[in-house]
Amino acid sequence: MKYRILLLSLALIGASISAGASPERTLQELRLPRGFQAEIFAHVPGARSLEVAADMGTVFVGTRGSKVFSIDLRTRKTDVFLAGLRAANGLAYRGGFLYVAEQHQVIRVSTDGSKDIQVVFDGLPDKSHHGWRYATFGPDGRMYISIGAPCNVCAPKGLEGTIIALSPGGGKPEKVAMGVRNAVGLAFHPKTGQLFFTDNGADNMGDDSPPDELNQLENAGQHFGFPWFGGGQDRTPQFARRPLPDRKLSAPVIAFGAHVAPLGIHFYRGSMFPPEYQHDAFVAQHGSWNRSTPAGYRVVRVRFDQNGTAVSHEPFIEGWLNAGSKLGRPVDIAELPDGSLLVSDNHGHLIWRISYGNQSRK
């Protein structure tokens, strides 16, 4: 009897796997503007954060697990670059070193083959809720790291609910943004040098509240309203009766739909795409997990004017959500030296390449 139950369980598992969409079928479902095409670039388990080391001919891929992967740009071969880490999500590359923002610390890893590891900062809040970090280098040479609030709605403590700036050599971090629930994508506008970041709104406030956000940091020390606001202008029930802080609170520059889960953001700098895409941003919307009708599961284009002001957003890649079926969940976006884009998909365990014109490589 136990043997028959085991066989039945295996059969059901096999049926479930076979019923899932293959990467090739997902590719057929993706919809892009005229002239653009997608292709499968690489297979990476749990692919999330992307960091292109152009001088090495390598793309590093972070995960929420213990591993960082590397992809050879010439062969597209995937290897494990590091293992044994804690939520190895946040990646930033500079001067021959890969910086990894783990749940509890930031390390610097030599890429010369030795893989020597140095702890740069060990003071990150060691909490698993919103404990996956994101990182990037700014024009000032410092590393910017997002630190989510360890809750749905609560009063953050210490570095919780902030974005910090940290010297590559370590030292005391500066809180450059506060009142941030769960910032994920971090990117600096190529012309103005100002930081833009995505922020995920609170849960359990309804299907259509609160909006997820794209924010702009104009001055260090800005406060973006959490936990008094769950997103946009929507007050959280937990803090609705509490007085607002005696300071200016910054509203988002773009309010996305509720629960679309905006994650990675990238400003386009290349020459492959049409000129009108220059310095526009692409945002990966990972997709809702508890909305009665799923939303997100796409990449959107955020249009910017000549002054570096965000003016609108529109779909760029759709099809990962197909008739209610979830075929993929985009996480991060990076740009290759040829001007094509990479999009990570932790649901499909894939890296997608997006090109324009007759630029695809099969």
**The pLDDT of residue 5 is above 90:** no
- pLDDT per residue over 195-209, tens digit each? 999 999 999 999 999
Pick from 7-16, 145-154, 170-179, 211-220: least confident? 7-16
The predicted model gives 11-17 an average pLDDT of 32
Contacts 24+ apart (CB under 8 A), 325-328: 325/21, 326/287, 326/294, 326/297, 327/21, 327/25, 327/26, 327/29, 327/297, 328/26, 328/297
**Which residues neighbour 36 within 8 Å (Cβ) at sequence distance 6 or greater?**
354, 355, 356
Q: From CA 316, how far away is CA 46, in angstroms rounded?
A: 23
The predicted model gives 103-118 an average pLDDT of 96
In the prediction, which pLDDT does 66 show?
98
**The pLDDT of residue 297 is above 80:** yes
Report yes or no on whether pTM surpasses 0.75: yes
- pLDDT per residue over 151-181, tens digit each? 999 999 999 999 999 999 999 999 999 999 9
Q: From CA 73, how far away is CA 317, in angstroms rounded?
A: 23
pLDDT band at 20 (very low <50, low <70, confident <90, very high): low
The predicted model gives 241-249 an average pLDDT of 93
- pLDDT per residue over 300-310, tens digit each? 999 999 999 99
Mean model confidence pLDDT for the chain: 93
Structure tokens at 168: 């590559």
In the prediction, which pLDDT does 136 show?
98
Pick from 74-78, 127-131, 357-361: least confident? 357-361
